[in-house]
Chains A and B, each alone.
Chain A
């Protein structure tokens, strides 16, 4: 029984980690290639979720909604890039942090203005709404398995693009030395825009995928953003491989920590203290993990800058 319960938690952690990866992948590339710290990446996730909610309500089908939400998220990301972010690439990190913080403040309120403060619900598409028996007597929602499969698929596709194509080669080169790539005659601005657009779309895609299992609400991107930062810091800025491993690590540690910390502490403390301390410690685990990683490797596990 405990074993199957643990299996469920591992699947949940995997699913959470893959969603984090979709967000962190764009963030780490934007960061690695452009040296641009984009706090507004989290709202891109939120906007993706809102888009899919709106389009699903409009078309009556989650699939159509998703198909419309993806280009919308891409267009929205590019719009932000042209309007604001483009003017920030040459500025100090402090300016970048502040201006993108302003974008968050604006958009968190703007979605409230447009869609209201109440959370929106997106129904899980009928074909995927069932459950599947993963072990005897243990049911697991199909939709979450779909998220895992899609996340792995996107991860694999990203890996192939980044490591096997010419575009990927330029992106990797840009992450390790953007000035040199530019000097070799590559249109670095265009590369920036492509990377930015893909990153924004991936974050929007992550938001769209979780919309049916979470409530779509203002500010939903904020905590995810911090977690994505933790992921790319642990993984090493600019490294897709690092982001992938760190995202799974964070997803699993966070999910399993919340589940097992109270249980484990019960071995040492009386039940009520144990569950209280456990609940207090569990959300801190990933930050402790990050601190530990950075203590031994200040540039993360797979640093891409030389």
Chain B
């Protein structure tokens, strides 16, 4: 699979200096996230909070995709579909009066589990370019399903009556509470994924990334490991979808469109593949870049596209690579 993923994308844990960086950078990131609400002291809290909340939600989805692309060499181009599933789980249940956050989360997890299992089981039978395209097609399938759900807004999307409730209380209405809920989930997911990639399962997954034939020869069935990773990544992205719906109080099929899947891939490549915190950095830079460019011109995409191309052509290893977090 060397042709799919650069070998140097592997996280280097060997050298002690790099090992320290692998700890320091994420610590720094999460410390910054934890302190952002203090921006309220300067009076612009609402604006900053909503931007950083969105960044963290995007980071959560991007991180789950990093498990697939960075660690598993499974280039899924339909990952936004899972975000859409999560978001619609919240919106549809809430439109029927079920606003309990835990029920919504449970449904989102169950639905994304089934969708990931079925589409993953079919997609993983294919390899390389076929895999990219089949995940893309499954993502679009969900997108078109969303646009034809006339009862739930169809193309136009659906505005939530209110954010999810926790234990019957509308505590998430407070933006700071929502912020720290997102923060907590991002931190939890980061630790979970760190644990997963360091575990035996993660090592097998990385082994399959480097050489599936050899892994098979020493007695591992790649398919099962890849499918498990696919399901885990899909479910985490669905959690991101739940949070996104709560943050924007609105869902639309556009959440699941292939352009959003492309954004997620861009974010993790920008931040550096296969390091998890690279996905967080990438998501932050991506969002801020889009915000800043759109502030200056309505034709910001004409700048954004070329930046993307230049990053691919010249900044191999992404920002994480520049920061030296990898060999």
Contacts and interface: CB of A to CB of B under 8 A. Distances in A.
Interface stretch (A119-127, A178-186, A203-211, A286-294): A286-294
B133 to A, nearest CB: 5
B141 A99 contact: no
A91 to B, nearest CB: 8
Interface in A276-290: 276, 279-280, 282-284, 287-288, 290
Interface in A81-111: 84, 87-88, 91-95, 97-99, 101-110
Interface stretch (A15-23, A50-58, A168-176, A229-237): A229-237
Most buried by A among B137, B147, B150: B137
Given A113-B302, A299-B130, A226 B151 contact: no
A283 B144 contact: yes
A37 interface: yes
Interface stretch (B200-208, B241-249, B262-270): B262-270
Given A280-B145, A284-B141, A93 B151 contact: no
A287 B129 CA distance: 17
A288 B138 CA distance: 9
Interface string B81-121: 00000000000000000000000000000000000000100
A79 B135 CA distance: 30
Chain B CB within 10 A, most for which of A94, A109, A280, A290:
A94
Interface residues of A, number: 49
- Looking at chain B, what size class is its interface with the partner chain? 35 or more
Contact of A93 (B125, B129, B138, B309): B129
Nearest to A230: B137
Contact of A294 (B75, B134, B141, B258): B134
Interface stretch (B2-10, B15-23, B25-33): B2-10
A88 B316 CA distance: 13
A295 B302 CA distance: 39
A contact face: mostly helix, strand, loop, or mixed: helix
Contacts of A84: 309, 313
B269 A94 contact: yes
A106 B305 contact: yes
A62 interface: no
B149 interface: yes
A108 B119 CA distance: 30
Interface in A252-295: 276, 279-280, 282-284, 287-288, 290-291, 294-295
B137 A290 contact: yes
Interface in A140-177: none
A31 interface: yes
B312 interface: yes
Contacts of A300: 130
Given A92-B3, A102-B305, A108-B301, A97 B75 contact: yes
A130 interface: no
B129 A102 contact: no
A112 interface: yes
Given A98-B265, A229-B136, A291 B129 contact: no
Contacts of B285: none
B325 interface: no
B286 interface: no
A94 B265 contact: yes
Contact of B262 (A88, A101, A283, A298): A101
B308 A101 contact: yes
Given A279-B148, A283-B144, A105 B258 contact: no
Contacts of A93: 3-4, 75, 128-129, 132
Contacts of B299: 109, 112-113
Interface of A: 31, 35, 37, 84, 87-88, 91-95, 97-99, 101-110, 112-113, 222-223, 226, 229-230, 232-233, 237, 276, 279-280, 282-284, 287-288, 290-291, 294-295, 298-300
15 contacts: A84-B313, A93-B128, A94-B5, A94-B75, A97-B132, A98-B308, A105-B304, A106-B301, A229-B133, A237-B129, A284-B141, A287-B137, A290-B137, A291-B138, A299-B130
- Which 6 pairs, one residue from A and one from B, show the smallest C-beta to C-beta distance? A106-B305, A102-B308, A109-B301, A105-B305, A287-B141, A283-B144
